[in-house]
Structure 1
Amino acid sequence: AERSPEECQVLSESEDIVRELERRRKRRERLRRRQEEVCDEPEELKRKVTELAAAVRNAKHLVIYTGAGISTAASIPDYRGPNGIWTLLQKGRTIRAADLSEAEPTLTHMSIACLHKHNLVQHVVSQNCDGLHLRSGLPREAISELHGNMYIEVCTSCTPNREYVRVFDVTERTALHRHHTGRMCHKCGAQLRDTIVHFGEKGTLRQPLNWEAATEAASKADVILCLGSSLKVLKKYPRLWCMSKPPTRRPKLYIVNLQWTPKDDLAALKLHGRCDDVMRLLMAGLGLGVPRYDR
């Protein structure tokens, strides 16, 4: 109603441009909504966790996929949250450095280790490089760290590869396509390399990536629980989702995340809550105590 006849004339003569601008506006709005964090009401979250607890108890082979969202309670930033690394970089903001070696496993990390100890979780597949799953007491064979571990360096000249698990960050001198750490293998003298898989790289190390175990676990899974992952990277690994199976034979998917994920429509249940809050309720529902971390 506020447009002048001249403006209406211009718009009517430029239908293609108008259509394209409208498409871009809708896309921006859709992306904005997907970045918003949504929290379930407390009673709704409790109801959903009760349903999740039943799924965990009844699962024959439960696999957990974890992302950066399970470590935010340890003051480690995530990637796509409101204060995530990618979000801040897109806004032109600077990223503060943090000493991750001082970080301790969160309630979620300790809960996952406890669930594995009680045979309720068979395997954990993690995108995180922070080493907190290992610090929580989760056995090496029970975890696949798909993007490496910043506290592990290896000698690829030794057979099998010799591993060095450190209490300090081994990646200070490494970067994309530059993986030598500057230290030498005490056995053969060859240069050690980190285990990190950067964007644009393909992970080739057997450990700590442990792809073989991750693929085997996914093939056996009847339930997959995704904690704190946007799934924007994990969705690109079809082996983790049993996509070759008919839909009715794929594992049931449960997602815990405050934001939208590309797997939401396929989930049996989506819980909008913080990982520690959900896991605290879940452990209580299962009648299990959360062990304390002993450094």
Structure 2
Amino acid sequence: MAVVEELSEARALLGELVSSASRAIVFTGAGISTESGIPDFRSPGGIWSRMEPIYFDDFLASEEARLEDWRRRFEMRKLFAEAVPNAAHRAIAGLVDSGIVSDVITQNIDGLHQRSGVPQERVIELHGNATSAACLDCGHGMGFDDAEALIEREARAPRCGICGGLVKARVINFGQAMPIDEMERAERAVRDCDLFLAIGSSLVVYPAAGFPLAAKAHGATLVIVNRDPTDQDDAADHVLRGSIGAMFEPLTVS
């Protein structure tokens, strides 16, 4: 493992690695979005240090938990709407457009990769997306404005207009099963890549955090780009530490 903290050196190495890759995968966590003004979940001062997560079983069992979950989603919607994709998001979108990056696997729920220009079909959202909702029973979609109106009118969490099931934001809560299709897509992408860029992730949340090590086991060069050390640094071929946006800025395609 080689740790690079000097910005110009990190930029140069990142450029070399990307230009020599034939099929790269990008894997992102909350750290890529903090520079867009979205706080992360696990660092000191992050979201989970200020409030306890709502578990999926609690959402199913408790109307109070459902209403609190929705209250948080509405707050996040405002935060996400005000956020703007940063240089790292834009650089990744350019790499996808150029064909160097085949897929973007993300733990984030903010939709900033899509807003930066990455096509939806190239984004694999392991933990869902906080910008839309769906019925847990039949899968019928519901917009946040409609959900908010139902809560105000009925004083309870929204129910599906088709089957009457509970409607929930398309976010994977603690204790909720990971999305099968997305996990399978990520596994296929990992098997086929020759460069795996893990960006802005603490790499502690499994099963998502298993993908960098799986890519390494399949022969890919593993690069970790993060502000702070991670538990997987020793397994990486290269570790780049510092501002993620600053490191990726020279790769940005305008």
Whole-Å separation in 2 of the counterparts to 1:48 and 1:169: 46
Contact in 2 for aligned 1:254/1:269 (Cα 8 Å)? yes
The count of aligned residue pairs is: 224
Aligned partner of 2:186: which letter?
Answer: A
Q: 1:231 aligns with which of 203, 217, 240?
A: 203
Query: Does residue 1:120 correspond to 2:100, yes or no?
Result: yes
Instruction: Rate the CA distance shift 1:274–1:237 in 2: closer, same or farther, 3 A.
Output: closer
Instruction: Flag the structure with higher strand content.
Output: 2
CA shift, 1:150, in A, is 0.6
Cα pair distance change 1:228/1:144, threshold 3 Å: same
Q: Once the two structures are aligned, what percentage of the paired residues are identical?
A: 33
Is the 1:150–1:170 Cα contact (8 Å) retained in structure 2? no
Whichever structure has more helix as a proportion of its residues is 2
Note the C-alpha offset of 1:154.
Answer: 2.5
Match 1:102 to one of 56, 60, 82: 82
Query: Which amino acid letter does the alignment assign opposite residue 252 of structure 1?
Result: T
Structure 2 counterpart of 1:28: none
Deviates more, 1:46-55 or 1:98-107: 98-107
Q: Any idea what the Cα deviations from partners look like across 1:58-95, whole Å, max 9, x if unmatched? A: 112111110111111221111344443345679xxxxx
SS of the residue aligned with 1:182? Answer: coil
The aligned runs of 1:17-32 (5 Å cut-off) are: none
* Matched residue type, 1:220: D
Which residue pairs with 1:269 in the alignment?
238
Cα displacement (A) at 1:50: 1.3
Aligned to 2:249, the other structure's residue is in SS state helix
Retained in 1: the 8 A contact 2:28–2:201?
yes
* Cα 1:190–1:139 shift into 2, 3 Å: farther
Structure showing greater Rg: 1
Provide the residue aligned with 1:57 in structure 2: 19
> Which structure has the higher relative contact order (CA within 8 Å, separation 6+)?
2
Question: Which runs of 5 or more residues in structure 2 are unaligned?
Answer: 53-74
Stretches (4+) displaced over 6 A: 167-174
Identify the residue that residue 34 of structure 2 maps to in structure 1. Answer: 72
Q: Specify which of 231, 247, 251 is matched with residue 278 of structure 1.
A: 247
Quick one: which of 205, 210, 214 aligns to 1:242? 214
Residue in structure 1 matched with residue 185 of structure 2 by the alignment: 213
Aligned in 2, Cα 1:189/1:199: closer, same or farther, shift over 3 Å? closer
1:141 equivalenced with 2:141 (yes/no): no
- Secondary structure of 1:242 counterpart: helix
What residue in structure 2 maps to residue 259 of structure 1? 228
In the TM superposition, 1:25-44 aligns within 5 A as 40=5, 44=6
Q: 1:204 to 1:258 in 2, by over 3 A?
A: closer
TM-score calculated relative to the size of structure 2: 0.74
Q: Aligned pair in 2 of structure 1 residues 109, 167: CA closer, same or farther (>3 Å)?
A: farther
Calculate the TM-score normalised by the size of structure 1.
0.65
Cα distance change, pair 88–155 in 1 and its aligned pair in 2 (3 A): closer
TM superposition shift of 1:53: 1.2
